[in-house]
Amino acid sequence: MSTSPPWTKNLVEAVRRGLAALYKEPPMTAVEWADKHFYLSSESSYQEGRWVTAPFQVAILNAMGNDLIRTVNVIKSARVGYTKMLMANHGYKVQHKRRNLLMFCPTDPDAEGMMKRHVDTMIRDVPVLLALAPWHGKKHSDNTLDAKCFENKKMLWCLGGKAARNYREKSPDEVVYDELSKFDADIECEGSPTMLGDKRLEGSTYKKSIRGSTPGIAGQCQVSRAAEKSSRFMRFHIKAPCCGAEQTLKWGGPDEPYGLKWRKDDNGEVAGAWYLCEHCQGGTFEYHEMVAAAEQTGRYICDRTGIWTRDSMEWFRADDKPIAPPRTVTFHIWTIYSTFTTWADIAAERLEVGNDRGKLKTFVNTTLGEVWEEDETEKVSWEQLRERREVYAAPVPARCAVLTGGIDTQDDRYELRVWGWGGGEESWLIYRRILTGDPASAELLRQVGIELHRQFSRADGSKMGVMRWCWDSGGHHSETVRAQSRKHGVHWVIPIFGASTYGKPIANFPRKKEKKSRTYLTEVGTDNAKEVIYNRLRLQADGDRPVQGLIHFPADDAICDEDELKQLTSETKKWVLVKGRRVLRWDASKRRNEALDCFVYALAAVRISRERFGLDLEALAAELNPDTRVWEVPAEPDVSAEHGEEEAAQDEPQEPEAAPAELEAEPHEIPSPEPPEDGGFLGLGDNPWLQ
């Protein structure tokens, strides 16, 4: 039985609370605080128990707690413990650093759910926070669904992000945006959520803005847009257990020689999964080896600058010299590093998704942690094009009226493609050649000259040459290309340069020569050309009947193998920032795309021929025999035929009509029809349009 007077208990409690304000814990990082105090509540965790910071979480959580880092963006997938890191950071800031926090969720119901499932349970299960919340579990003015006022007089607000009023009359030290990609882009016509929220930090000594989310749709995803403003884009790297090469883990895909791979059992289910190393030509490692490697060697490295950190407290340049922490940093982390799932589960999830557009979008956003490109499922895959390959009856199919070519200039080679064209710009891939060497060397240019004059056999037995070439003059060899244009004919070999701007014509052939090079340097609207090509790749054949714009590929690996088709389908649309505006641009993401570029140039060549030199593909297509669907070959006149001289005269071929005036205005500079061995202009077949 206690002999103390009843009032002494209240006195002791009052003294304890008074002295608590004088107590200060030794300085700790956010990770140290979480590992010591934080607890995973059963209502909001896969497993209840003491928190242990995973290797990939260390730098992110410490960045949230580091006062020298003002802005933290986290682009993440599901199952990486991001919400728990936020809660640990909240507890650390309220109890250890004594800061006011303002947290925004996309909607008011989201904010209420965050308070009930995460904040209230954290206060209940973390003793150092419960000691600051005597009102816990009671109705009290300091304990509402919108805000918590702790005993140390620090506030934690959790509000919905849709209403502009929620961004007013708050004085936080830190603003947090959970699932930023789900916020409205414009809050009641007052501006973006991050601008409105961060405005509340202006009077704070230790300003902090934390934005995190699974990504959304490309161009609309706010967390990705916020990340673009950061010069530090950090990805988690480990040293591969198989070879020790440092790398960031990637999804890869079925046609990539790296990434997550798996095998299926007899029932078609995933029986095992492993990672195929990107560096050591076939080396592999498994999930448990990755976890151990992350513990020992894991660090975040910036894609853009090479700076790196293991814990966000110490930062280093690419040459390992120490530097101050950046003011703004972006982290990207995805499920492959998670300790809450397995690689076999990720592979099984991908198999379940299949080609379902809605499921694939969810997989890309929440498992890969990447933005969803809207045209991702609309674009034809190279596998689909491979299935569409066909056997040509001749090197040049019967419906092909003219040939044009494109040449792509690289630092160590020239890549050439020849495309055939019929009515409605129906097209056929005819020829591919890659010439390796110094692009400025006389020998390589001699070989290119031979290829320029190559003849091809059409199904009717006639010979065809390339009507017009477009040659890439960008890069380091522009003068070489322009010199070749002068040598082979300024109307026949046209130097071009690309313009990645929507609205530009596919080929803007100038009316006058460029004074410096004395060539018709032509601007090619590459983005518009690629738009046309990718739209046409989706067209399907209709038996053997002509289809306007249809693209044909030969079943010949020497011309059209898997690599050719992968290059043709290598690009996707991505949002980029140009002069302060977000615009869509075609991007190959470091994949090879020479085949696509050559197709663009060949398309530009046929457009130049149609728009400036009078080529009429439809008129040529009208000459097709409606029964055989092959080109008519005029018969030789036979004066001894039974029908007499009059009918024989009718059978004689008509004189070709005159070439367009513009073509006559400046003839080829090499007029001889028989070129020398190293170049010259050849005849282009018997058809008058090819003269």
Residues serving a catalytic function are 179
Beta bridge partners of 178: 212
101-105 and 155-160: which strand pairing? Answer: parallel
CA distance 295 to 4: 54
C-alpha–C-alpha distance, residues 123 and 133, integer Å? 8
The angle at the Cα of 284, spanning 281 to 288, to the nearest 5 degrees, equals 155
Can you tell me the distance from the alpha carbon of 512 to that of 666, in angstroms, rounded to the nearest whole number? 11
Query: What whole-number distance in Å separates Cα of residue 429 and Cα of residue 560?
Result: 8
**The token pair that represents 440 in the structure block:** 């400025």
- C-alpha 134/C-alpha 498 separation (Å) is 68
Please tell me the distance from the alpha carbon of residue 116 to that of residue 134, in angstroms, as a whole number: 17
Q: Are 109 and 160 in contact (CB under 8 A)?
A: yes
Provide the angle, in degrees to the nearest 10, between the axes of the packed helices 343-353 and 357-366: 150
Tokens found for residue 355:
């080609």
Indicate the helix (H) or strand (E) that contains 294.
Answer: helix 287-297
SS3 335: helix
Which amino acid would we find at residue 58?
V
If DSSP codes are grouped into helix, strand and coil, which group holds residue 305?
A: coil
The CB-side HSE value for 111 (13 A sphere, CA atoms) comes to 25
Q: Which two tokens stand for residue 47?
A: 């497993």
Angle at 53 between CA 51 and CA 58, to 5 degrees: 150
The beta-strand segments (E) located in 161-283 are 174-178, 208-213, 233-239, 246-247, 259-264, 270-276
Cβ atoms < 10 Å from Cβ of 574: 16
d(Cα 616, Cα 400) in Å, to the nearest integer?
13
Residue count of the chain: 691
Task: Supply the DSSP symbol for 438.
Answer: -
DSSP of 508-576: B--SS--TTT-S--EEE-HHHHHHHHHHHHT---BTTB--TT-EE-BS-TTTS-HHHHHHHT--EEEEE
Question: Which distant-in-sequence residues (6+ apart) come within 8 Å of 124 by Cβ?
Answer: 41, 130, 136, 137
